[in-house]
Amino acid sequence: MVDAARLRAMLEHLADAEATLEELRGRGADEVRGDVHLLNSAKYLFIVAAEAAIDAGQHILASEAGDVPATFAEVFEELGRAGWIPDDLASSLVPLARFRNLLVHGYADIDDDRVVEILAGEHLRDLARFRAVLTDHTTA
């Protein structure tokens, strides 16, 4: 059984990272790209946000199925198959899990323009939607 309080805490951690990423997005692509501190903050916050979402998903899957997938991308796919999140949301979060892996394991090789592009793209909305869907599950 999912520990609702623990899941809420994970989702609050995700919300905090999302809020700061939104602030960075509001600074504009040129400012973020041109400031190494802002750019590195965005990279770190994407790691934090992705890991908070993955942790929440792993908690759900371990609680419900007793097992977790072998990869972070599969966490979102399994949540979709299990009906915890819509399939389209699961599909849109898979690249975020892979981006997290690139940031963690190949940090120096990350194209800064790609980071700014991702910051300006739909990933923050996808994370907010993920958080909202799981929050609905915990309050239902």
Q: How far, in Å, CA of 59 to CA of 110, rounded?
A: 29
Question: What CATH number is associated with residue 45?
Answer: 1.20.120.580
Q: How far, in Å, CA of 56 to CA of 54, rounded?
A: 5
- The pLDDT mean for the chain works out to 92
Q: How many domains does the chain have?
A: 1
Q: Is 132 exposed, middle or buried (0-12, 13-18, 19+ CB in 10 A)?
A: exposed
- In the numeric block, which tokens belong to residue 135? 């929050």
For the stretch 43-74, pLDDT in tens is: 999 999 999 999 999 999 999 877 789 999 99
For the stretch 5-25, pLDDT in tens is: 999 999 999 999 999 999 999
Average pLDDT over residues 113-134: 93
Give the global pTM. 0.93
Count of all residues that appear for the chain in the document:
140
CB contact at 8 A, 116 and 32: yes
Q: Which domain holds residue 123?
A: 4-139
